[in-house]
Structure 1
Amino acid sequence: MTDLDDKTRTELEAAAFRRLVAHLQARTDVQNIELMNMAGFCRNCLSNWLLDAAKERAVPLTKDASREAVYGMPYEEWKARHQSEATPEQKAAFPGPGGH
């Protein structure tokens, strides 16, 4: 990708990000704790990274809006519909605060 101009690279990265978000929205069976334990990031991380990017560019975006962009619905609604209680094994494997 080093031969690409910045605009094209950014467009490709944005398309990949949108595809990842769509994939995570479709895979509601995969819990955030599973993502954290296996990949070291989750939907919340992704929404925080989006929020960080907005802040770096002085783009007004709220935490709730960044989460809704990633989850495809308000976060509290997603949790009520799709989040299950973590198993003891998942909790034991979780890296905890600062672990991601």
Structure 2
Amino acid sequence: MSCSENTNAPAGDPLDAIDDAVAAAAFRRLVRHLRHRHDAQNIDLMGLAGFCRNCLADWIVDAGAPLDKAQAREAIHGLPAAQWKARYQTEATPEQLARMAESLKRNGGTH
């Protein structure tokens, strides 16, 4: 699963007017929500929305967080990614993989 920054934000996007502290608080709430909802598998998030926890980790690094990939994933998952994967991740089904591939096409090459 590959994640890159979506740079297709429209000019004058009202999201850009939200105070950074407010946006950061909302982001932290989203991450903590995902930490709580282990039943929401990354493959299902990718299939439905075209992004997952690993994407969020990539995005914080892309935004300038002084973390390597492993550290960023640990920050998002709440524990080392390998440990999270062993504890919570299930084997992807062919149907999940197909939904993810279709969903990624809708991202227009970026997400």
How does the TM-score come out when normalised to structure 2?
0.74
Which of the two has higher C-alpha Rg?
Answer: 1
Residue 85 of structure 1, aligned match among 91, 96, 109: 91
Are positions 1:64 and 2:70 aligned together? yes
Shift of 1:35: 0.2
Q: Deviations over 1:2-45 (max 9, x none)?
A: 6xxx7x70010000000000000000011001001111110010
Unaligned runs of 5+ in 2: 1-13
Shift of 1:60: 2.8
Q: What SS does the aligned partner of 1:94 have?
A: helix
Question: What is the alpha-carbon root mean square deviation over aligned residues?
Answer: 2.1
Higher normalized contact order (CA 8 Å, seq sep 6+, divided by chain length): 2
Q: Which runs of 4+ in 1 moved over 6 A?
A: none
Q: Tell me the distance in 2 between the aligned counterparts of 1:99 and 1:12.
A: 25
Unaligned runs of 5+ in 1: none
- How many residues are aligned here? 91
Q: Tell me the distance in 1 between the aligned counterparts of 2:99 and 2:70.
A: 28
Residue 82 of structure 2, aligned match among 69, 76, 79: 76
Q: Deviations over 1:42-78 (max 9, x none)?
A: 0010000001112xxxx53111111011000000000
Letter in 2 for 1:41: F
Identity of aligned residues (%): 55
Letter in 2 for 1:74: P
Residue 11 of structure 1, aligned match among 10, 21, 26: 21
Q: Tell me the distance in 2 between the aligned counterparts of 1:18 and 1:36.
A: 20
